[in-house]
Amino acid sequence: MSAYRSPFERLREKFDESERRCPECGYVDTEGGWRVTTSGGRVRYQFVCPTCDAVETRELRLE
Ligand SMILES: [Zn+2]
């Protein structure tokens, strides 16, 4: 239907494609991907490794 996608979704896709790999143990998550939360003008992406519980966080500012 509509081709419109929000910046959130585009960024999320980008993370999902490129960074599903745990930097600590090398586990590659094929399902979960990143969790996205927003607060104020910021978007926080968090990836929690299911095998070693390492937490990877990215924070972006919305323009
Ligand atoms: Zn890990």
CA of 29 to the centre of ligand 1 (A): 9
CA of 34 to the centre of ligand 1 (A): 14
CA of 3 to the centre of ligand 1 (A): 35
Q: Encode pLDDT of 5-59 as tens digits.
A: 787 777 667 666 556 788 889 988 777 677 889 988 998 988 888 899 998 888 8
SS3 10: helix
Q: For 23-54, b where at least 16 C-beta lie within 10 A, e where not — what string?
A: eeeeeebeeebbebeeeeeebebebebeeeee
CA of 21 to the centre of ligand 1 (A): 8
Cβ atoms within 10 A of the Cβ of 12, count? Answer: 18
Q: What was the pLDDT predicted at 4?
A: 76
Where do the structural domains in the chain lie, given as residue ranges? 7-61
Q: What was the pLDDT predicted at 52?
A: 94
Q: What was the pLDDT predicted at 9?
A: 77
CA of 28 to the centre of ligand 1 (A): 8
Cβ atoms within 10 A of the Cβ of 8, count? Answer: 14
